[in-house]
């Protein structure tokens, strides 16, 4: 078997758009013995996982479960279940993940309309109101933290516009959940989904989703079968709910991992966690500004867990990322679609969101930029971040 060596990776500092670094306790949970997916002991873990997930979404929805699949499976689940052929769906698009939602809507026969904004800017709530006035919609869908651009979208005014016009609101919280307030009930979100690999700091593989009562009523009133057998929420609910009807074999060890990551989140406390993401993100942004770099996302709406930075003129985006990986074992992301080669995406998600990582990244970036021939005042980024911490406390 010498052609097939064992996996011996030393790992990386994961500061890209996901996955983020996984807490050692979560890796330990993954390695626990696999139980049968209907074993009473596992059913107990499932119940506790559902409870902690609901607390994380800040919802009283009993219908809160992890879907087997990555964040995109959560997106697909939300849309294929809610949409019946011919339903009118308004999708807000200001980045790649909004585009992906629109793609899924047309694939399941939804009658699609778009509200669009330039990548890097928020969707203005007035645009949604106008679109809904012009054409009634059954469903409005929007991304909370657009990981392709680093924009954090205010959801409350969109929720108000949707409900005033009798539409259900679907929110993508793949990147935001566990890093910024999502508050499903207080905001009035009907369906919200996420993914385990971003601010929940669990490996990729599960997509938590929560379904409110209005959305549940729409599922119950469906006249047609959900086009996806695997992602049919009603069937999944009878496995995760009291009936325990076998549907598909739950990824048992991933559920352990999610459970442990949620325990870690609630040991820290949601508010403390949100404050930690803001603190380190602001320190990072101060450091980048001091290095003469420009932030890409609209000011006032920059996501704490994902900072988009413009690649300076004349600098080769990929060369810098290769340098960080080769010399510091540190991963950041490049731009997607129209932003390819134009921005870097720097994640501070969950377990990766630390002062140590901010300071490592700023000095590593200085080195990489200097190597690429871009002049940075030596130490300027690290100094500005250190001063930020000095003035605002260093958290962890």
Ligand X SMILES: *Cc1c(COP(=O)(O)O)cnc(C)c1O
Site residues (CB under 6 A) for ligand X?
A: 18, 70-72, 75, 97, 143, 147, 172, 174-175, 195, 197, 204
Dihedral sign from CA coordinates of 32, 33, 38, 40 = negative
- Minimal distance, residue 68 CB to ligand X, in Å: 12
C-beta of 70 vs 216, nearer to ligand X = 70
- What whole-number distance in Å separates Cα of residue 79 and Cα of residue 195? 15
Measure the CA angle with vertex 75, ends 69 and 81; round to 5°: 100
DSSP secondary structure letter of residue 1: -
C-beta of 125 vs 208, nearer to ligand X = 208
C-beta of 68 vs 70, nearer to ligand X = 70
- Judged by DSSP in three states, 334 sits in strand
- Minimal distance, residue 148 CB to ligand X, in Å: 8
C-beta of 56 vs 355, nearer to ligand X = 56
- Minimal distance, residue 39 CB to ligand X, in Å: 28
C-beta of 110 vs 203, nearer to ligand X = 203
* Residue nearest ligand X, CB atom distance: 71
164: left (phi over 0), alpha (psi -120 to 50) or beta: alpha
Measure the CA angle with vertex 382, ends 378 and 386; round to 5°: 140
- Judged by DSSP in three states, 262 sits in helix
- Minimal distance, residue 135 CB to ligand X, in Å: 25
- Minimal distance, residue 97 CB to ligand X, in Å: 4
C-beta of 203 vs 287, nearer to ligand X = 203
Name which of 221, 268, 183, 242 is nearest 82 in CA terms: 221
Torsions phi, psi for 307 (to 5 deg): -105, 125
- Minimal distance, residue 195 CB to ligand X, in Å: 4
- Minimal distance, residue 269 CB to ligand X, in Å: 24
CA distances from 150 to 122, 292, 373 (A): 10, 19, 26
CA distances from 353 to 29, 172, 267 (A): 21, 21, 16
C-beta of 53 vs 75, nearer to ligand X = 75
> In which residue are the tokens 């729409």 written?
218
């Amino acid at each position: 078997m010498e052609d097939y060596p064992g996996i011996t990776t030393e790992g990386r500092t994961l500061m890209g758009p996901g996955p983020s670094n996984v807490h050692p306790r979560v890796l330990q949970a993954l390695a626990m013995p696999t139980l049968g997916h209907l074993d009473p002991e596992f059913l107990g873990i499932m119940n506790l996982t559902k409870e902690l997930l609901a607390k994380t979404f800040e919802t009283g929805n009993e219908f809160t479960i992890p879907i087997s699949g990555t964040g995109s499976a959560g997106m697909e689940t939300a849309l294929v279940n809610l949409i019946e052929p011919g339903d009118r769906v308004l999708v807000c698009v200001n980045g790649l993940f909004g585009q992906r939602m629109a793609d899924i809507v047309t694939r399941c026969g939804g009658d699609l309309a778009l509200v669009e904004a330039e990548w890097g800017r928020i969707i203005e709530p007035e645009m949604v109101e106008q679109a809904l006035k012009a054409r009634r919609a059954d469903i409005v869908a929007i991304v909370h933290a657009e990981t392709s651009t680093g924009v954090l979208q205010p959801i409350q005014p969109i929720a108000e516009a949707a409900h005033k016009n009798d539409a259900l609101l679907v929110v993508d919280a793949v990147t935001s959940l566990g890093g910024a307030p999502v508050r499903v009930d207080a905001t009035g979100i009907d369906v919200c989904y996420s993914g385990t690999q971003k601010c929940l700091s669990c490996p990729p593989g599960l997509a938590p989703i929560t379904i409110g009562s209005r959305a549940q009523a729409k599922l119950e009133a469906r006249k047609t079968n959900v086009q996806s057998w695997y992602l049919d929420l009603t069937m999944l609910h009878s496995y995760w709910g009291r009936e325990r009807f076998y549907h598909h074999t739950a990824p048992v060890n991933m559920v352990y991992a999610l459970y442990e990551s949620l325990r870690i989140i609630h040991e820290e406390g949601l508010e403390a966690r949100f404050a930690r993401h803001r603190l380190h993100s602001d320190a990072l942004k101060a450091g980048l500004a001091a290095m003469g770099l420009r932030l890409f996302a609209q000011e006032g709406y920059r996501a704490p867990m994902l900072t988009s930075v413009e690649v300076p003129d004349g600098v080769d985006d990929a060369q810098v990322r290769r340098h960080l990986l080769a010399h510091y074992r540190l991963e950041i992301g490049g731009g997607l679609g129209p932003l390819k080669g134009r921005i870097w995406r720097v994640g501070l998600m969950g377990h990766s969101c630390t002062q140590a990582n901010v300071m490592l990244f700023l000095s590593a970036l200085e080195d990489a930029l200097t190597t690429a021939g871009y002049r940075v005042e030596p130490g300027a980024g690290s100094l500005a971040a250190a001063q930020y911490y000095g003035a605002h406390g260093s958290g962890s």
